[in-house]
Amino acid sequence: MMTNWQAEAEKIRPQLLLDLKSLLQIDSARDVAHKTAEFPLGPGPAKALQAMLGLAERDGFNTLNVDNVAGRIEYGDGDEIFGLFGHMDVVPAGPGWTTDPFTPVEKDGRLYARGASDDKGPSIAAYYALKLVRDLGLPVNKKIHFIIGTDEESEWVGINRYLEQEPAPDFGFSPDAEFPIINGEKGIATFAITFKPQPAASSALTLTKFEAGIRVNMVPQTATATLTGTAPEALTALIEQKNTEPGITVEEGRTDDGVIITLTGKGAHAQEPKDGINAATHLAALLTELDLDPTGHQYVEAIAAHMHEDSRGHLLGIAHEDAVMGELTASPDLFSYDPAGEQTVMLNVRYPQGTDPDTIIAAITKTLGADHVSVAVNGHAQPPHYVSGDDPLVKTLLRVYEQHTGQAGHEQVIGGGTYGRIITRGVAYGALMPDAENVMHQANEYMTIDSLIQAVAIYADAISQLAK
């Protein structure tokens, strides 16, 4: 008899929400400033991992904790390992929330909290799907390893540590993106653009500080500049004009020796910078209208001329497009300026096959000038990843999606990076529906509760078919 997966998923709605809310209450942003030998990525990620594994232990699953940076929930047996890949860390809450980001709130069928859609909500959906397969006693002829990381939003220390110590799955999916499937992911690298001081010259204003951004994969929502000297009368008019632009708010504060300007835009996930309004590049564009010192002018001019409202990297000379993977995206996300110290921009780039970090570095250096900047990869670069649409994994997942939704499935490539790319035959699969608003990495992140329950049904069906 065919299993009515949607009906089975509805039965667990109350318990799923109870468990999910318990996870969402944990601020699990990577916090190495407070790391210890016991908690290498900070206490929050470890606490969330332990809580997730605790749910599985409560329900009778075998679990494994790898150094409090990664974990595993186990079921089944066989020669092959089928992997599920989720993560318990979140990006920092950031500004702009109308509710406490770590106090889950249900409203109008939505569950609001940091991590609701990325990735605690989808991970819980996949967990309950696995539990349904087990509880219904369906045949499983493979080992199923639900692997959980704790710094997917940054350096992937957890998942890399796991793979150093434990066997990699043969195939699998990550519930950390959108339906119908993500079988291709662009390469990801963050480039540190460091500016070189310029010879001094007289000017009306000196830029003494420019700050924006909280993570390299988040479009900055706010930016602040501090200037000393005599602010021109025209500044007020410039700010008033900027305030007429949609989605932008500029505030000016006078100090004893100058002015502080704060601009607020809209945050977004760096995989699609167009979804946000980059506060830093807008503020830089405003500052180019002022008589700034040479070093400060160099900094804001480069941002305004080569990074402002150009999410495809044309102005930096790094634009590239691939027939399968689409366009390169470029998102300047972290800004730090001190005339006597660091003067940097962290540029997050999602690049298709056909280009690479060395090519991108050479192009940025040529555009901005080697006399003005140095450019280097910050952290680790991830190459592009693609699983053919002819792979049985992709075919099965698309068929299951079509059967549950009545919508045609299709291949898809994104600029986001998921744990699906850690194995050759790995993809991302849901939980966001194609017509749903993507609020990952944004203020007031939410997931519709009905879509989570539907994801449980889809995941359970997919797990049952792939593991039998």
- For tokens 């997931």, what's the residue? 447
What does DSSP assign to residue 446?
Answer: E
For residue 10, report the phi and psi dihedrals to the nearest 5 degrees. -60, -30
Residue 158 CB neighbour total at 10 angstroms: 31
The counts of H helices and E strands in the chain are 11, 26
Cα atoms in the 13 Å half-sphere on the side-chain side of 23: 35
What is the rounded end-to-end Cα distance, in angstroms, of the chain?
16
Question: Do 261 and 210 form a contact (C-beta atoms < 8 A)?
Answer: no
The torsion defined by the Cα of 50, 55, 60 and 64, in degrees rounded to 10, comes to -20
For residue 151, report the phi and psi dihedrals to the nearest 5 degrees. -150, 45
Helices 449-467, 392-405: axis angle to 10 degrees equals 140
Residues with a known catalytic role: 89, 152
What does DSSP assign to residue 182?
Answer: B
**Amino acid symbol at 454:** Q
Question: Do 337 and 210 form a contact (C-beta atoms < 8 A)?
Answer: yes
Q: Where does residue 37 rank: exposed (0-12), middle (13-18), buried (19+ CB within 10 A)?
A: exposed
